[in-house]
A and B are shown apart, each in its own frame.
Chain A
Amino acid sequence: MSQSLKDHLGRPVVVVTGIGVVTSLGEGKEDNWRNLTSGVSGVRRISRFPTAGLRTQIAGLIDWQGDGPYCSPLHSLALARKSASEAIAQSAIGTRGSFPGPLFLAVSPAETKWDQRMEIYRGADGAGRSGYERLIKNAAEGEYDHYYSLFQFGSIAEHLADEFGSKGQPISLTTACASGASSMQLGVEAIRRGDTDAALCIGTDGEICEEMVVRFTLLSALSTQNDDPPGASKPFSRSRDGFVMAEGSATLVLESYDAAKARGAKILGVVRGTGERADTFHRTRSKPDGSAIIETITRSMTDAGMSPDDIDCINAHGTSTPENDKMEYLALSEALGGELGNTPISSNKSMIGHTLSAAGAIESAISLLTINAGVIPPTINCIEQDPNILMDVVPNVKRDQEVNVVMSNSFGFGGQNVCLIFSAEPE
């Protein structure tokens, strides 16, 4: 090999050579980018199931991708297939059906949903049984092998590993709303260890169903602005009232710089650094002083060998909940200090909604598209910015600006905090 590029800590440099995206804004990078930079929202009224009686009736749903009735793991799988196919095709890595590295999949826990529970319950009469007794009896006596394998928590990753031929045992992971960013971390770490030259990092989430809406409603986490679906997700706005659930998937093909160069691959960007710090304060809230998030952000800059003035823009976690946006601003003000004033920050969730397990991967993809295009997508629905959030949130209209370095934040329930830093290809 003619060249071997190491980072400031002597580790192999990790680059991205393939990107695939599917969201409520469309399939593929082109559609998504066009809609993101045009300020289009993918949020609409939920049509998948009856919403009567639900406080939230809107979401960034993607229409069910398969034959037969909606089935959540099959939908998540279908979305992941689309984004992975796009990313692998762009990267032109390996051979068809043989990806030369491990799979790290950020995915929602594949629990059995009410549709299947009732199908099984009604599969045979209960012969006097009710509740779980009837359910379990029918489960054992009916023909349900397909559900047995589909609702294993490792199921989606196993199907993807079969299809794309990733190497070794695939890893399914969850860190709640930081999952997509965690899949990137695991890929970066594996390449930096020298365990592999390539990694397939996927985030997918197609799990919107009645119970998911109710669960988040009970935590008062969701926007209830049902009358204006496209206007409901309004990160950093004074009247923000919660996040909007959404579906989507993104895939990033990671490679060592050396391996990508050796095979002549086009480099779409570099993963410069990752940072993480778990919070101990509360199951759904950050420490009031923001210290865990602050350290997450500072650690990502240390890992990247960068300082606040190196960051050209920030892809916010920006969920549109009162709590998140306030805490994200507080943490960024501490971690970036005065530089925050010179750093535009935008929330893709204003348009896509919050894709939960997939969000960190989707926002990684968009961060790289931002660098490549020299265009920062806007934070839409910013009619009246929260007067206590003094940041340049790129309100409503995209901005043309040369961008070399993007920071992307992801925070999740359970004290999960991850920050990633991307840059353009090294000169």
Chain B
Amino acid sequence: MTTEKSEVWVTGIGLVSSLGEGLETHWEQLTCGKPPLASVNNTDQAPYPVHPIVDFDISAQIPKRSDQRQMGQWQHLGTYTAGLALADAGIAQDAELLAATNMIVAAGGGERDIEVDSAIMDELDASDNPGERLNASLMSELRPTLFLAQLSNLMAGNISIVHGVTDSSRTFMGEEMAGVSAIETAVAQIQKGQGELFLVGGAYIAERGDMTMLMALGNALWEGEHGPVWSREGSDGGMIMGSAGAFLVLESAEHAQARGIRPYARIKQVVSGRCNRQAGAARKSADELLEKVSAQLPQGQLPVLSGCCGIEPQLSEEHEFLDGLANLGIDPAIRGVTTILGNTMEAQFPVNVALASLSVSKGAFFDPFDDSGVEQEYGGNLDRILISSWGHWRGESLALIDTPDGPLRGTA
């Protein structure tokens, strides 16, 4: 095995969020000279605001109705977004390339049938024999397709069936860190020659009562008005969940060059760590990660995308960590992505890599996402972006997305 590392290029991006569909839509709204207007639904999961997914034309990427019927909205979104990424990379419909495409999907589970669950809970509460009642209700109310729509690995399964991706297929779980590990693993595999072509990403739907319930158990949700994530510092904090699908085609530079596709950006480094989240532990974990990437960071202004979820105290700890970059002579221009898109959970890190790659390909950064004063203007050329993504419960990560040699996507 060669010890020489291949470069990892981002050669395809599929992105659908509460802001819209496609890279250009996101670029326009995030560089319009004023804070972008977030799309917020205050009623669907009241009292918790959420960012709803935009309408997307399912049949444009999932043409067969028989396939559409086998999925819920979460799988629709992931399968749809994966299709956008494959098309963007020039892989869609190319049987030979699809058969050589490895897949790592970051997944939670599909949505439960809220109406069925609600009816069963009310019934069981009133029943003298809830055990037998539950069996009878489940046998009569559940549908076979619902199980398949809930299975975590069936997002990958549907991508194989609908789009024909058939090399390896792995599904990682574990909330935000599943997205980090998926991309970190694909990068490591490409760098060491364990595959040249990967489809990696995830999706999350915020408008679902089962996930609202899970997050409410830990009082992890923000109640009240939507506002900049940084404005929650010093309060009890809380997340506003966001809907998004983000898939990336990652490719070795040699493979991309051989088939003549230009990259948006290069993934220089992804590093992750963990701690028990005792006070100060996440900051320490992130500082250790920073030591692994600091050699790649220049002095002066540095654009940073942060996935800070809004829960305290990790919000304040992440902010302190980013301010601490000053110790390295770095002046971070921070963008709190969750202010605009919410916490998109398994999709969060893939979304951040997609946005960073877009920005690198444009050679320019996004305008500040809010007027909180935390987010500075960024002027001048851009050749690298630091991503800071922490899990809401566990896990910390950093990534560096930069500019490879040679012409980029969208340039002459």
Contact = CB atoms under 8 A, between A and B. Distances in A.
Nearest to A189: B194
B157 A114 contact: no
A280 B160 contact: yes
A27 B359 CA distance: 54
B218 A149 contact: yes
Given A131-B118, A144-B217, A210-B138, A278 B171 contact: no
Contacts of B273: 168-169
B157 A414 contact: yes
Interface string B187-212: 01100101000000000000001101
Interface string B210-229: 10111111111100000000
Interface of A: 6, 9-12, 49-55, 107, 109, 111-112, 114, 117-118, 120-122, 130-132, 134-136, 139-140, 144-145, 147-149, 151-154, 157-158, 161-162, 168-176, 182, 185-186, 189-190, 192-195, 210-211, 214-219, 276-284, 292, 412-416
B157 A413 contact: yes
B117 to A, nearest CB: 7
Given A109-B173, A120-B217, A218 B1 contact: no
Interface in B154-173: 154, 156-158, 160-161, 164-173
5 contacts: A114-B134, A132-B209, A168-B272, A283-B157, A416-B169
A390 B174 CA distance: 43
A280 B214 CA distance: 33
Interface of B: 1, 3, 70, 103, 107-109, 114-115, 117-122, 124-125, 130-132, 134-136, 138-139, 142-144, 147-148, 150-154, 156-158, 160-161, 164-175, 177-178, 180-181, 184-185, 188-189, 192, 194, 209-210, 212-221, 272-274, 276, 391, 393-395, 397
Q: 3 tightest CB-CB pairs across the interface, nearest first?
A: A131-B118, A414-B157, A154-B174
Chain B interface mostly: helix
B142 A215 contact: yes
A169 B173 contact: no
Contacts of A10: 1
Contacts of B189: 189, 193
B138 A174 contact: no
B121 A121 contact: yes
Given A154-B173, A154-B393, A173-B171, A136 B272 contact: no
Given A54-B135, A158-B394, A147 B151 contact: no
Given A154-B174, A276-B169, A282 B161 contact: yes
Contacts of A54: 135, 139
Contacts of B218: 144-145, 148-149
Contact of B147 (A135, A151, A175, A219): A219
B117 A161 contact: no
A357 B217 CA distance: 27
Contacts of B1: 6, 9-12, 192, 194
B108 A153 contact: yes
A186 B272 CA distance: 17
Given A136-B212, A174-B153, A413-B151, A280 B180 contact: no
A393 to B, nearest CB: 29
Contacts of A11: 1
A256 B188 CA distance: 18
B274 A158 contact: yes
Contact of A278 (B165, B185, B209, B221): B165
Contact of A412 (B153, B178, B184, B219): B153
A40 B105 CA distance: 39
Contacts of A276: 167-169
B292 to A, nearest CB: 12
A414 B151 contact: yes
Contacts of A414: 151, 153-154, 156-158, 160, 169
B173 A50 contact: no
B178 A172 contact: yes
B214 to A, nearest CB: 6
Nearest to B156: A414
